[in-house]
Amino acid sequence: MKAPANVISHVRGESEFIDDIPPMQGELYVGYVGSPVAHGELLGVEATEALKVPGVRACFTASDLHHTNWGTIVQDQPLLVEKEIGHIDEPICVLAAETREALEIARRLVKFEIKQKPAILALDEAIAKKSFLHAPPPFKRGNIEAGLKNSRHRLKGVFHIGGQEHFYLESQASIAYPLDGQQVKIVSSSQHPTETQHVVAHALGLTYNQVICEVRRMGGAFGGKESQAAPFAAMAALVAHRLRKPARIVLTKDDDMKTTGKRHPFQTHYEVGFNDNGEITALKLKLYADGGAYTDLSPSILDRAMFHSDGSYYIGNVFIEGWVCKTHTHSNTAFRGFGGPQGALLIESLIEDIAQHLRQNGSPIDAAQIRLTNLYGKETRNTTHYGQLVENNLLPDLFEKALKSSSYLKRRKAIDQINRDSEGLLHGLAITGCKFGISFTTRFLNQGNALVHVHRDGTVQVSTGATDMGQGVYTKIQIATARSLGIPDDMVFVTSTSTEKNANTSPTAASSGSDINGMAAKVACDKILFRLKQVAAFAFEANTASIAEIETLDWRNAD
Ligand code: QUE
């Protein structure tokens, strides 16, 4: 295969990101002004001085929006603060200016009247004050209290996991164009064009068919542009719609890092019971996720952490509770793994603690052996704490193979020796397996979308619900389409994802983008091929028997 178009333009530096799009005549720059406090009541906005800056065209507040609140699961987050301030740098008003310079000067001149309130900034405080956004039903299996009581050993403690900034190379960015018929077109750096379309429509009081959102590519996303691209698109759209001018918002890295959500910090309170051979017999957990100020995707992220708290290990007696805590910080959001890492990290760390505990109590067993002992089985010990049968379990064999092929035990011995001799730096070694649930837990989202056009020169255009964030999904879609149609890869061009062509799409997320949208492209190609075969049969005057045969075929069986 020749290098796909996307690859060539990336390597040449020709790939266009949002802020590379040349400005249109009359285009305005848009920026927000954020809260200087983490928690408080907004009493007034004073923009007189800002509006005097030459080139500044408008200042909009929450009262200019048709619908202020947005949110993927619960609509509890204001696009612009109406009254209650939830976190530092939370957008309060939007400015539009003819130049970036005027915008930046004006942003510093807006004054707010705010009654400051005490803020909850740490998980400890949120837990103590029961400041919660969500609490799902717990997972229960076996008898946790008896399980703990009957284990030879028990460990109890609190495990802390910090947050993480996505640090995508391209900050949140959108351009909004006012079209006739009150339509608005958004080009955005978004993993979720459909949600951006919906949030913009709600914000402006438009119907969904009046809003188009197109995504060509993102300069990285990692979950950070799944829900949180939409509010910035809405700010640009507000300016474009009200002033009838194209409007561009491109956050600086500083603003992006201050105001957008991150990976959820977690605090997990644990009690684990185990025997002399390292077999884990009971696990009792309370997971506290720092959701920040608003719900965003936190309930699904906490779910996933609770689903992954078993790692790849069978545990007979389990009790897992979870809470999304409300703190006065940016609203935390999707981030690669989506709670899975926060769930699975604890049990892996516990296994190291168990190995250490057993070593100190006269039963030295290597952590790798403890992992092997506890792995889900193939025929028994093969249901999870959420009731799923672990099928086609390759892990026990794979684990043993990896142990051997990596010379784990030999290396372990060498490292133990180095550590015994060392007076400073210690070396470490670990081998772990992983069970990860791909696809959306909100199951209706596991659906793809594709539009395939065959042009009269035989070349093909395809667009799908999958957005390109640098993961190469357009290349996969190109290959899936070409192979489905039986044509060379370079006869297929993958065009941008747009709500005009790809409506009601799911976000590109949950390890599902290539599979579900690649399959959607294949289904579309199969239908087209089937019709083409019928046409060809007529055109080439195939005998009537074979035409009749083709007509009875089902495109779903077309190869
Ligand atoms: C990874 C996931 C999920 C996800 C995003 C990821 C997931 C899930 C949702 C979700 C839930 C409710 C919604 C929505 C998305 O997002 O499992 O839009 O309304 O359920 O990156 O695993």
Mutate to test the pocket of ligand 1, among 294, 297, 467, 469 (most ligand atoms within 8 A of CB): 297
Q: State the number of CA atoms in the 13 A half-sphere of 186 facing the CB.
A: 36
Strands (DSSP E) found in 251-338: 266-274, 280-292, 317-326
Q: To the nearest 5 percent, what fractions of the chain are helix, strand and coil?
A: 35, 20, 40
Residue with structure tokens 């060392």?
A: 422
Q: Is 376 in contact with 314 (CB distance < 8 Å)?
A: yes
Ligand 1, atom 7: closest residue by C-alpha: 440
Q: Is the CB of 168 under 6 A from ligand 1?
A: no
Tell me the one-letter amino acid at 59.
C
Q: Is the CB of 322 under 6 A from ligand 1?
A: no
Q: Is the CB of 300 under 6 A from ligand 1?
A: yes
* Distance between CA atoms of residues 137 and 107, nearest Å: 45
Please count the other Cβ atoms lying within 10 Å of the Cβ belonging to residue 71.
18
Mutate to test the pocket of ligand 1, among 191, 338, 342, 443 (most ligand atoms within 8 A of CB): 338
- Record the tokens describing residue 172, joined without a space: 């949140």
Nearest to 94 by CA among 265, 248, 198: 248
CA dihedral 280, 299, 391, 148 (to 10 degrees): 20
Ligand 1 atom, smallest distance to 511 CA? 1
CA distances from 257 to 172, 220, 455, 464 (A): 10, 14, 44, 30
- Model pTM score: 0.95
Ligand 1, atom 18: closest residue by C-alpha: 72
Q: Is the CB of 183 under 6 A from ligand 1?
A: no
* Distance between CA atoms of residues 202 and 541, nearest Å: 55
Ligand 1, atom 1: closest residue by C-alpha: 510
Q: Is the CB of 222 under 6 A from ligand 1?
A: no
Residue-wise pLDDT tens for the chain (559 aa)? 577 777 888 889 999 999 999 999 999 999 999 999 999 999 999 999 999 999 999 999 999 999 999 999 999 999 999 999 999 999 999 999 999 999 999 999 999 999 999 999 999 999 999 999 999 999 999 999 999 999 999 999 999 999 999 999 999 999 999 999 899 999 999 999 999 999 999 999 999 999 999 999 999 999 999 999 999 999 999 999 999 999 999 999 999 999 999 999 999 999 999 999 999 999 999 999 999 999 999 999 999 999 999 999 999 999 999 999 999 999 999 999 999 999 999 999 999 999 999 999 998 999 999 999 999 999 999 999 999 999 999 999 999 999 999 999 999 999 999 999 988 889 999 999 999 999 999 999 999 999 999 999 999 999 999 999 999 999 999 999 999 999 999 999 999 999 999 999 999 999 999 999 999 999 999 999 999 988 888 888 776 666 666 666 665 555 4
Ligand 1, atom 2: closest residue by C-alpha: 510
**At 388, phi and psi to the nearest 5?**
-90, 135
Ligand 1, atom 16: closest residue by C-alpha: 440
Please report the pLDDT score of residue 538 as a whole number.
81
Ligand 1, atom 10: closest residue by C-alpha: 442
Please report the pLDDT score of residue 192 as a whole number.
98
Ligand 1 atom, smallest distance to 227 CA? 18
Q: Is the CB of 498 under 6 A from ligand 1?
A: no
Ligand 1 atom, smallest distance to 336 CA? 21
Residue with structure tokens 């077109």?
A: 185
| 253 CA to centre of ligand 1 in angstroms | 26
Ligand 1, atom 14: closest residue by C-alpha: 72
Ligand 1 atom, smallest distance to 437 CA? 22
Strands (DSSP E) found in 339-482: 450-454, 460-464
Please report the pLDDT score of residue 556 as a whole number.
59
Residue with structure tokens 């928690």?
A: 39
| Alpha-helical segments (H) within 448-559 | 473-485, 513-539, 544-552
- 288: β partners: 267, 323
Tell me the one-letter amino acid at 266.
F
* Distance between CA atoms of residues 462 and 267, nearest Å: 45
Q: Is 35 in contact with 92 (CB distance < 8 Å)?
A: yes
Nearest to 323 by CA among 344, 358, 295: 295
